[in-house]
Amino acid sequence: MMSEKATFGAGCFWGVEATFREIDGVTEAAVGYEGGHTSNPTYKDVCTDRTGHAEVVQVEYDPAKVSYEKLLEVFWNAHDPTQVNRQGPDVGTQYRSVIFYHSPEQEQIARASKAKLEASGRYRRRIATEIVPAQTFYRAEEYHQQYLAKRGLRHCHI
């Protein structure tokens, strides 16, 4: 089995990770930080809103079982992509809506998916989601991995 990676930022990473883990074909989902300018940031660092990182979920998936298009559909439905640097009560650049693509094909598919969503009229406001090349993924501290599952919860406060 060849697995591929997809990386998404959609607000607080706990709920996003739990959502992706439920998808058939997703073999792993890890929370972490990406897109900033500080090496090896901690959660505390990222929460200062000064490292430039987004809270993200890096998904490993089997493309024979689940398409990148399907993962994008889950991403769009997991948050409000019109929000800039916030989701629900969480505010800051680390909560921005972002797709980090790992190949030219992912970039093309993500851009087409965003354009289709914008044209659908589903949202009155513009889609704020950034689509940028994957950068270094810093895995979050172990206590953040499967945070909700460890506490017997299915979703966050939203």
Known catalytic residues are 12
Contact between residue 45 and residue 38 where contact means Cβ atoms under 8 Å apart: yes
Give the count of beta carbons closer than 10 Å to the beta carbon of residue 118.
16
Alpha-carbon span 150 to 96, nearest angstrom: 25
Alpha-carbon span 110 to 113, nearest angstrom: 5
Given the DSSP bridges, would you call strands 26-34 and 54-61 parallel, antiparallel or unpaired?
antiparallel
Extract the tokens encoding 42: 């901690």
Q: How far is CA 123 from the centre of its chain?
A: 19
Element housing 15 (H / E): helix 13-21
Q: In DSSP terms, which residues pair with 90 in a beta bridge?
A: 87
